[in-house]
Chain A
Amino acid sequence: MNKSIYLSFLFISIVLLQVFILDNILLFGFVNPYVYIAFIFFYPLKENRFFFLFLAFLLGLSVDFFSDSGGIHAFATLFIAYLRLVLVKVIFKKTAIDYQLFNLNEESFGKVFNYVALLTIIHHFLLFSLANFSFQNFVHVLLQTILSSIFTLILFFLGTYIFRKKQ
C-alpha cells in the first residue's frame, strides 16, 4: 500500500516537473531534456506487466495533454516500456527469477549507463521523428535526438547521484 502511494506521488510529480520546469529550458531554442522517462527506468520489475505498460502509456499521454502533441509521448514511452525487459535480459543477464531482487542502484555503472542511454536514445528518436511527422528536416531530427539525449542523460545521472540514499 505504501509502495503504491509512493509510486502515484512519483508519477504526478514527475509529470509536473517535466511540463512546468524542464519543457521551458529549450537550450539553443530546441534542445530539451525529457527526464520523465526515469519513471520507466526505476519502476520495479516484479510488478504486474500489464499494469506497467498501461502506466507508461498514461505517463506519456499526460505529458501529451500538457504539451498539445497528440500521442507522441505516449507512443515513445510505451515503446521503451515494452523494450525495457529485453534490455534487462541482454545487458544485466537477468532471468525471471532475478526480477524480484533487481535494483538499479546495485548494478555497476557501466551496465546502468548502457541500459539508460539506449532507452533514452530510442525514446528521443521516436519522439522527434513523430513530432516532425514527415521525412523533411531529417537531419534536424537526428541532431535534436543526439543533443537532447546527451542533455537528458546528464540531468538523469546528476539527479540519481544527488538523490541516492547513503548506504
Chain B
Amino acid sequence: MQQIVYFIQKYKYFLFFLLLEIIAFSLIVNNNSFHKSKFVSSANAITGGFYKKSSQISDYFNLKNENTFLINENTKLKNQLEEVSFLLDSTKIFTSIDSLNFNQKFEYISSKVIKNDYHKPFNFFLIDKGENDSISKEMAVINNKGILGVTDAVSNNYTRVQSVINKNSFINARLKNSFYFGTLTWDGKDYNIVQLTDIPRQAKVIVGDTIITDGKSAIFPEGILIGSVIKINSGNSASNSLEVKLFNDMSNIGNAYIIRNFDKLEIRNLENPRNE
C-alpha cells in the first residue's frame, strides 16, 4: 500500500498527463468515425456564433461572385421551367397537377457556409441552419455547381457537414451516359480532384465524361453533378479508379442547399428489415 501511494506521489504529473492524452486520443478516434455522435465539433452555440459573426463581415467581399452564381442558376432554372411548361401544354394531362406536390420526394433548404476547410485530410464545413430548420444527420448538401457533402453533427442552429474532400467520405456515383456506378472517395492530396473507385472494367470511360450522383443511396437524389473525368488508371490495379475533377472549387463555396429526402425512413426500413 505504501508503495502504491509512493508511486502515485512520484509520478502524479505523468499520470495526469497520461489521462489527458488518453482523453484527447479518444476524441480523435471518435471524430474519425462517421457514425458516432460528435462531442468536439464547431456546430455548437459558441463557436457557431463566432463563425457566423465573422462570416457576416467577410461576406461582403464575395457579393459580386455570389450574384453571378445566383443569376446563372436562375437562368438555368427558368429554362428548365420553360421546358416543363411546354411539356405540360403539349400533352393532355387528366390527373390533377396537385399530384406533383403529393409525390414530392425531396425538399431543398437554403443555407450559408460560414466556415470552410480544404487543406486537411479530414475536412468539414459549417452551415448556419440546424435542428430548428428540420435538418438532421445524413442529409445531402449541394450548391448550384454540384455536390458538397453530407451533414454530420447537428446542433440547434448550426450543422457541421462532412465535405466531399474528407477521407471518410464515401458517396455513390455513376457515369452520366451509362448506368455503371462506383464509390466516390478522396485520397487526401488535391482538394479539387476526387477518385471514383470500383467502376466495373467493362464500363467504357473516356476523359471528359461527366460523373453524377446515383439514386441508389437514400441521401442524394439522382443526377446531381459531381465532376468530369480527367485521368483513367488503366492497368491491373485491384480498385479500378478514375480521377475526377470537381465542378465545384471547394476552396470557394458560399451558399448551399440541404436536401431532405421524405422517403428516407421508408428506404432504410426496406434495406434493413427488422427481425421480429
Which residues of A are interface residues toward B (Cβ below 8 A)? 16, 19-20, 26, 29-30, 32, 49-50, 53-54, 57, 60-61, 64-72, 74-75, 78-79, 82, 130-134, 136-137, 140
Q: Which chain A positions have C-beta within 8 A of B267? A: none
B121 adjacent to A133 (CB under 8 Å): yes
B188 adjacent to A75 (CB under 8 Å): no
Verify if B122 is at the interface (C-beta below 8 Å from A). yes
Q: Which chain A positions have C-beta within 8 A of B191? A: 29
- Find A68's partner among B13, B160, B187 (CB 8 Å cutoff): B160
Q: Tell me the minimal C-beta distance from A71 to chain B in angstroms.
A: 3
The interface on chain B, measured as residues whose beta carbon lies within 8 A of the other chain's beta carbons, has a size of: 39
* A interface footprint on B33-60 (CB within 8 Å = 1, 0 otherwise): 0000000111010110011001000000
Q: Which chain B positions have C-beta within 8 A of A79? A: 21
- The DSSP consensus for interface residues of chain A is helix
Task: Tell me, in angstroms, the Cα distance from A151 to B157 when the chains sit together.
Answer: 36
Verify if B77 is at the interface (C-beta below 8 Å from A). no
Q: Tell me the minimal C-beta distance from B60 to chain A in angstroms.
A: 16
B28 adjacent to A75 (CB under 8 Å): yes
B31 adjacent to A49 (CB under 8 Å): no
A74 adjacent to B47 (CB under 8 Å): no
Once A71-B40, A136-B188 are accepted as A-B contacts, the answer to whether A131 and B25 lie under 8 Å apart by CB is no
Task: Tell me, in angstroms, the Cα distance from A3 to B55 when the chains sit together.
Answer: 34
- Among residues of A, the one whose C-beta sits closest to the C-beta of B119 is A30
A64 adjacent to B40 (CB under 8 Å): yes
- Among residues of A, the one whose C-beta sits closest to the C-beta of B153 is A68
Task: Tell me, in angstroms, the Cα distance from A32 to B27 when the chains sit together.
Answer: 23
* A interface footprint on B184-203 (CB within 8 Å = 1, 0 otherwise): 00011101000000000000
B40 adjacent to A70 (CB under 8 Å): yes
- Among residues of B, the one whose C-beta sits closest to the C-beta of A19 is B50
B28 adjacent to A130 (CB under 8 Å): yes
Verify if B17 is at the interface (C-beta below 8 Å from A). yes
Q: Which chain B positions have C-beta within 8 A of A57? A: 20, 23-24
Q: Tell me the minimal C-beta distance from B224 to chain A in angstroms.
A: 24
A70 adjacent to B31 (CB under 8 Å): yes
Q: Which chain A positions have C-beta within 8 A of B117? A: 67-68
17 residue pairs bridging A and B, Cβ less than 8 Å apart? A29-B119, A49-B13, A54-B20, A57-B20, A61-B40, A64-B27, A64-B40, A65-B47, A66-B50, A69-B120, A69-B122, A71-B23, A75-B25, A131-B120, A131-B121, A132-B121, A132-B188
A75 adjacent to B120 (CB under 8 Å): no
Once A71-B25, A130-B28, A133-B32 are accepted as A-B contacts, the answer to whether A65 and B20 lie under 8 Å apart by CB is no
A75 adjacent to B24 (CB under 8 Å): yes
B41 adjacent to A68 (CB under 8 Å): yes
